[in-house]
Structure 1
Amino acid sequence: MTQQSRLQDRLDAFKADFEAGKPPYNVPPSVIEIMHRATEELIASGQAERAKKAGDVAPQFVLSDPDGRPVSSADLLSRGPLVATFYRGVWCPYCNMELEAIQAALPDIEARGANVIAISPQTQPNSRKSTRQNSLTFPILSDTLGQVGDAFGLRFALPDYLVELYKSLKNDLPNFNADPSWTLPMPARYVIGTDGVIAYAEVNPDYTKRPDPSELLPVLDKLAARAAA
């Protein structure tokens, strides 16, 4: 198994068990059909193609870390490139596996002078829970009301039928996020250069697909070479 395929292999294995209804998930086919329908509709909407992409100037932001301290993108970029991943929440197993993979790659990322953050619409207590569960040493920032996700073009409203499914599964997003809107960001990962320009962007409306963190390293190497030139 190559490093590049490692994260997606884990995600695919989880998805296969989940969608097969294996214990402990025991999910009926009707639930899987609804989830597939929502993903297909989001893909068809073309929103991912309209999100911020490589070459765009990244929106600036100030968000709170799990302990309530403000974190500024401008301050982070004054120290080096920034890796930002948009994370749906502590309730999403695919997101948690991605965070674990980023944590595993963190020494390689930091060795290239970059900082890492995750951005989620969830509340600070849920970010603290995510940090504990995934043994993270980089911060999950709380994107209140999804405003930064919206600025990046990632925020979308769940269709009514998916809201009803989430309610039936006790997946109470208004409670997780302290936001009644039933919105989420599409999973996305960005590398932002110290000039504020996006050097790498991966946005996928299919939340079961995530790029491996190893893809970031050549991008960071290029940014370092450019800075040294």
Structure 2
Amino acid sequence: MALQDKLDAFKADFKAGKPPYQAQAEIHPIMERATAELIASGQAARAVKAGDRARVFKLKDQNDNDVSSTDLLARGPLVVTFYRGAWCPYCNIELQAINEVLSQIHAYGANVVAISPQTPVNSRKSVRENRLSFPVLSDVNGETSAAFGVRFSLPGYLVDLYRRMRNDLPAFNDDPSWTLPMPARYVIGHDGIVLYSEVNPDYTRRPDPSDMFAVLEKATAKG
């Protein structure tokens, strides 16, 4: 099943309040309003895109080890996915889908990292619960997502909803700012130039991992 089909099926069950999801009909218009406003802001179009030079980063992984984009790019192309956190089911479904094709990505000589604003403890939770075989990096204070242009501030009414839902982002992220990255996926070439970018302000929409394969094949041939 394609990734978007899985996401759409989850969304339908969530909105219908099917077990184990409690029916909370009032939350969906609030989330949809916030998504519509983020789309209308045009921020996604201003983010780092294909043809740009990728921002350099050095972040801690789930085991508190330093992971450098410079070191990874010295080995080959790099897939970078920005996600919101272990509390986001859409993100978890996406991470699982990427993990399912990890051997194919490695066959192109590429590596994968996921980046979120959450603490290493919650990154370990992401790795453990999704059975990931690639590192999850902690973007302290959202500095890397801001550098890529994908970080945004939640509107006050959405902060209120998250608090009611016990999505305590300041606790998850050890950051009081109530900010998140838009879901984004990049393929960065060996030379640091972005070869593929997909940034979507609608967190329920994610590109299929297979969409990267043609780009990775060209990057491998070029390298």
TM-score range, shorter chain: over 0.9
Is structure 2 residue 62 aligned with structure 1 residue 57? no
Which string of whole-angstrom CA distances, capped at 9 and with x for unpartnered residues, describes residues 153-202 of structure 1? 00000000000000000110000000000000000000000110000000
Stretches of structure 2 that go unaligned for 5 or more consecutive residues are none
* Matching residue's letter, 1:164: D
Counterpart CA distance in 1 for 2:80 and 2:221 is: 21
Deviation at 1:226, TM superposition (A): 1.6
* Matching residue's letter, 2:176: P
* Matching residue's letter, 1:20: A
* Structure 1 match to 2:167: 171
* Structure 2 match to 1:137: 133
* Structure 2 match to 1:196: 192
Deviation at 1:28, TM superposition (A): 2.2
SS of the residue aligned with 2:133? coil
Which string of whole-angstrom CA distances, capped at 9 and with x for unpartnered residues, describes residues 59-90 of structure 1? 00100011111111000000000000001000
* Structure 1 match to 2:21: 25
SS of the residue aligned with 1:200? strand
* Structure 2 match to 1:42: 38
* Structure 2 match to 1:72: 68
Which string of whole-angstrom CA distances, capped at 9 and with x for unpartnered residues, describes residues 8-37 of structure 1? 100000001111222221232211010000
Q: Residues 77-88 of structure 1 correspond to what in structure 2 (within 5 A)? A: 77-88=73-84
Which string of whole-angstrom CA distances, capped at 9 and with x for unpartnered residues, describes residues 82-141 of structure 1? 000001000000000000000000000000000000000000000001100000010000
* Structure 2 match to 1:225: 221
SS of the residue aligned with 2:101? helix
How large is the Cα RMSD of the aligned pairs?
A: 0.7
Deviation at 1:54, TM superposition (A): 0.1
Stretches of structure 1 that go unaligned for 5 or more consecutive residues are none
Counterpart CA distance in 2 for 1:130 and 1:177 is: 13
Identity between Structure 1 and Structure 2 (%):
65
Counterpart CA distance in 1 for 2:111 and 2:25 is: 41
TM-score (norm 2): 0.99
SS of the residue aligned with 2:114? strand
- Paired residues in the alignment total 223
* Structure 1 match to 2:211: 215
TM-score (norm 1): 0.96
* Matching residue's letter, 1:49: A
Which aligned runs of 4 or more in structure 1 are off by greater than 6 angstroms?
none
